[in-house]
A = this chain, B = another copy of it.
Amino acid sequence: MSSAVLLIHCPDKSGLVASVSDFLARYHGNILHFDQHVDAESQVFFMRAEWELDGFQLNKEEIGTQFELQIASRFDMKWELFFSEERPRMGLFVSQLSHCLFDILSRHEANELAVDIPFILSNHTSLEPVARRFEIPFFHVPNSKDIKQNAEKTILELVHLHKIDFMVLARYMQILSAEFVEQFPNRIINIHHSFLPAFPGAKPYHSAHQRGVKIIGATSHYVTSDLDAGPIIEQDIVRVTHKDSIDDLVLKGRDLEKLVLSRAIRHHINRKILVYGNKTVVF
Please give me the residue from chain B that is nearest to A263 by CB atom. Answer: B255
Q: Tell me the A233-273 residues at the B interface (CB within 8 Å).
A: 233-237, 239, 241-243, 245, 251, 254-255, 259, 262
List of B residues within 8 angstroms of A17 by Cβ:
17, 21, 24-25, 31, 34
How close is A122's CB to chain B, nearest CB, in angstroms?
A: 16
Q: Tell me the A208-248 residues at the B interface (CB within 8 Å).
A: 211-215, 217, 231-237, 239, 241-243, 245
- Point out the residue from B14, B35, B106, B254 that lies within 8 Å of A25, measured CB to CB: B14
List of B residues within 8 angstroms of A233 by Cβ:
214
- Distance between Cα atoms of A21 and B25 in the complex (Å): 12
Contact A212 B232 (CB under 8 A): yes
Contact B281 A242 (CB under 8 A): yes
A-side interface residues, number (CB < 8 Å): 66
- Distance between Cα atoms of A32 and B12 in the complex (Å): 11
Q: Tell me the A1-40 residues at the B interface (CB within 8 Å).
A: 14-19, 21-22, 24-25, 28-32, 34-40
Q: Which of A148-156, A161-169, A175-183, A196-204 contacts B (4 or more CB under 8 A)?
A: A196-204
How close is A1's CB to chain B, nearest CB, in angstroms?
A: 11
Given the interface pairs A98-B106, A214-B234, A245-B40, the reply to whether A22 lies near B28 with Cβ below 8 Å is: no
Contact A213 B241 (CB under 8 A): no
Contact A212 B236 (CB under 8 A): no
List of B residues within 8 angstroms of A99 by Cβ:
106-107, 110
Contact A30 B14 (CB under 8 A): yes
A102 within 8 A of B: yes
A124 within 8 A of B: no
A279 within 8 A of B: yes
- Distance between Cα atoms of A18 and B16 in the complex (Å): 11
- Distance between Cα atoms of A172 and B46 in the complex (Å): 39
- Point out the residue from B109, B196, B212 that lies within 8 Å of A278, measured CB to CB: B212
List of B residues within 8 angstroms of A36 by Cβ:
31, 34
Q: A16-B31, A98-B106, A212-B232 are in contact. List 16 more A-B contacts (CB 8 A).
A: A15-B25, A17-B34, A18-B21, A18-B24, A35-B35, A39-B242, A98-B110, A102-B106, A112-B254, A211-B232, A211-B278, A211-B279, A212-B231, A212-B279, A214-B232, A215-B237
7 contacts between A and B (CB under 8 A): A16-B31, A17-B21, A17-B24, A99-B110, A195-B215, A197-B199, A211-B279
